[in-house]
Amino acid sequence: MVVSDDDKLHEECGVFGLWAPPDAEDAADEVYRGLLALQHRGQESAGITVGQNGGLKTEKGMGLISQVFSAGDLEKMNGHLGIGHVRYSTAGASNLANAQPLEGHGKLGDLAVAHNGTLVNAGVLRSLLEDGGVLFRTEADSEVLLAMIARKAAKGLENAVTEAMSAVKGSYALVMLVGDKLIGARDPHGIRPMVLGKKGNRWYLASESCALKSVGAETVRDVTPGEVILIDEEGPRSIEQDLANERATCVFEYIYFARPDSRIDGISVMESRLAMGRELAREWEVEADLVCGVPDSGVPAALGFARESGISYGMGFIKNHYVGRTFINPDQKMRERAVSVKLSVLKGEVEGKIVILIDDSIVRGTTSRRLVTLMREAGAKEVLFGVVSPPITYPCYFGIDTPVAADLIAHAKNNDSIKNALGADELSYLSLDGLKKALERKKGFCLGCLTGTYPIPPHKLRKVEEQW
């Protein structure tokens, strides 16, 4: 399995979908541009499916979207509707067979699906379907969904989709092509984000609103938790169903995963990160010469901290943006080495100073320890470490790539021991209350890995409805 080189929680994927009137042919080009804006959500593989006259065509490959598709490839993919996917894998091996979108064919015609997130009970559903004679070609959860929809085809498209969705448990945002229709769905708690956009007579679905901007579309609204949207010549319409549950959007979308220029469920990611820094500054009375953000996601919070505390903001690090994000089976040493390749300290900025380093989170602590060491080697007099999330003490059961609890530095250690393990002079985490203040809402978020209380209790995640 390919795992990430850095010491972060990791998003699973990004999805994008477009429906344009039948005389359009440039769906591949638009999906490509949407995926470029979602590349931060997954870099292992990328794929696009386009549809024309009810037929589908899929191209995919390993690597970044710009490595997988050339301008010539896109020109050969004529279509008026399309879906696309960028992948970071936690379920299934990282290989081309598991890259998405996945195509299938059944009584409903040609189908293709791409999803972000994890269908937590996909394994159980897969073996039930296999018992019923279904042969699977990949390990991807998306293929299970395709098989489930195909199995209910006799009930018509809308019923087949809603029945499949009601059996699936977990966190997901998915896009699907069925003939000349684009379908989008968001999990019943809205754990993974999804937005609906519009440009003229074209409609879009995307994991994040930044992808809508990249194709010049406007955000119409967030897809609501449990909503299934079908888009065709009549525009978008919600398929009635009874899946919606209390909203529990993954709080790490705001802390780390999403791009700062996105809005999720009405909250600006950039504003929320600035506010997290501001709240930490209110909670942590500290004196220092300089505030530095750990690139990239620590930077907005560090700005918020600096503005609130009155301590100058400085550029402590230069990031090398050209280092690939994945290594095969990295051990701890490789992860630590990778930090020095990616980040370099600007000695002149920090030498002789008391420096506050602001990062979005601490997972294992390996990256944070290395950052503190780099700062000290560059001559910082003291290194104070500020974290704009509460300690991550529990694993994620919704597909985010977290280490087992024992490998989370905050699982068994208190603040003092973590501070010592990092080699920092001080350490302060943002409180849960501070985080909620920064998000301007007390409710509506999954906080499972911070509190141990999940929107779906882990023991219920594998339950499967009888009819499958």
Residues annotated as catalytic are 13
**Short-list 118, 104, 236, CA closest to 182:** 236
Q: How many CA atoms lie within 13 A of 115 on its CB side?
A: 29
Long-range contacts of 403-406 (CB under 8 A, 24+ apart): 403/363, 403/364
- The pair of three-digit structure tokens given for residue 282, joined into one six-digit string: 């209110």
Answer for the pair 383, 425: CB distance below 8 angstroms, yes or no.
Answer: yes
Answer for the pair 38, 14: CB distance below 8 angstroms, yes or no.
Answer: yes
Nearer to ligand SF4, 303 or 439 (CB): 439
Neighbours of 216 (CB within 10 A): 12
Nearer to ligand SF4, 215 or 438 (CB): 438
C-alpha distances out from residue 240 to 2, 150, 158, 248, 385, Å = 39, 20, 9, 21, 49
Residues that bind ligand SF4 (CB under 6 A): 9, 171, 191, 250-252, 396, 398, 400, 446-449
- 3 state DSSP class of 98: helix
- 3 state DSSP class of 346: coil
- 3 state DSSP class of 430: coil
Rounded (10°) angle between helices 415-422 and 366-377: 50
How would you classify residue 224: left for phi > 0, otherwise alpha for psi between -120 and 50, otherwise beta?
Answer: beta
Cα dihedral value 61, 253, 199, 15, nearest 10: 20
d(CA 365, CA 244): 37
